[in-house]
Amino acid sequence: MDLHAQEFRKIVDTLRHAAAALREHDVRYCLGGSVASWARGGPETVNDLDLIVDPAHLQNAVTALEGIGWRSETPPEGWLVKVWHEDVLVDLIHTVTGYESVEEILQRAEDMRVASLDIPVAAMEDVLTPKLLAFDEHYLDYTGALRAARALREQIDWNVLREKTCDSPYARGFFCLLEALEIIESQQVRA
Return d(Cα 48, Cα 26) in angstroms, integer. Answer: 23
Kindly state whether residues 89 and 20 are assigned to the same domain: yes
Does residue 96 share a domain with residue 6? Answer: yes
Q: Determine the average pLDDT of the residues in 131-142.
A: 96
Domain boundary among 122, 147, 175: 122
Q: What is the pLDDT of residue 186?
A: 84
Mean pLDDT, rounded, for 142-167: 96
Mean pLDDT, the chain, rounded, equals 94
Residues 168, 128: contact at Cβ < 8 Å? no
Same domain? For 139 and 169 the reply is yes
Domain that holds residue 146: 123-191
Whole-model pTM: value is 0.92
| CA–CA dist 7, 36 (Å, integer) | 16
Q: Are residues 27 and 111 in the same domain?
A: yes
How many structural domains comprise the chain? 2
Query: What pLDDT does 46 receive?
Result: 74
Of all helices (H) and strands (E), which one includes residue 58? helix 58-66
Residues 99 and 162 in one domain: no
